[in-house]
């Protein structure tokens, strides 16, 4: 599952760049699939699905790093075309500011996705129900 969690957003980003898909719907669809997967594994408890309440953000666990990487890659898919155009056209000092803002917003959105959707997605929830 770790590999799928990383490969899915990478393939999504490649698909968006190759086909020049200028829409947020593929990213929303991918997030919906992740949410459905997590909801199906955890059950009907909304608080556990969206990590509402106190959670442990420790990135010492390699699983948390995989979840954070996947969330960040998925969030980059919303702005990947802008980022690619910045690199194709070259970065001047003015464009570097816009690039930094765009990249910063993507990283912040990635942390939000990580906190509310991707955190604990790879955790085995079958032990908790016993």
Per residue in 39-50, pLDDT (tens digit) is: 898 888 888 888
What sign for the dihedral angle of Cα 37, 58, 13, 95? positive
* Angle made by CA atoms 116, 107, 10, in degrees to the nearest 5: 85
- Let me know: does 113 contact 75? Beta carbons within 8 Å: yes
* Residue 125 clears pLDDT 60, i.e. is over it: no
Percent of the chain with pLDDT over 70: 95
The whole-angstrom separation of Cα 116 and Cα 35 is 10
H or E stretch at 31:
helix 25-42
Give this prediction's pTM.
0.85
């Amino acid at each position: 599952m770790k590999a799928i969690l990383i490969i899915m957003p990478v393939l999504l980003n490649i698909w968006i760049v190759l086909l020049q898909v200028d829409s947020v719907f593929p990213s929303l669809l991918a997030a919906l699939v992740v949410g459905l997967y997590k909801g199906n594994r955890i059950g009907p408890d909304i608080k556990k699905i969206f990590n509402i309440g106190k959670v442990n953000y420790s990135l010492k666990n390699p699983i948390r790093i995989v979840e954070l990487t996947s969330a960040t890659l998925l969030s980059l898919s919303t702005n990947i075309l802008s980022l690619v155009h910045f690199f194709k056209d070259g970065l001047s000092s003015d464009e570097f500011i816009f690039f930094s803002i765009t990249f910063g917003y993507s990283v912040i959105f990635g942390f939000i996705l990580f906190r509310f959707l991707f955190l604990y997605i790879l955790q085995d929830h079958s032990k908790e129900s016993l």
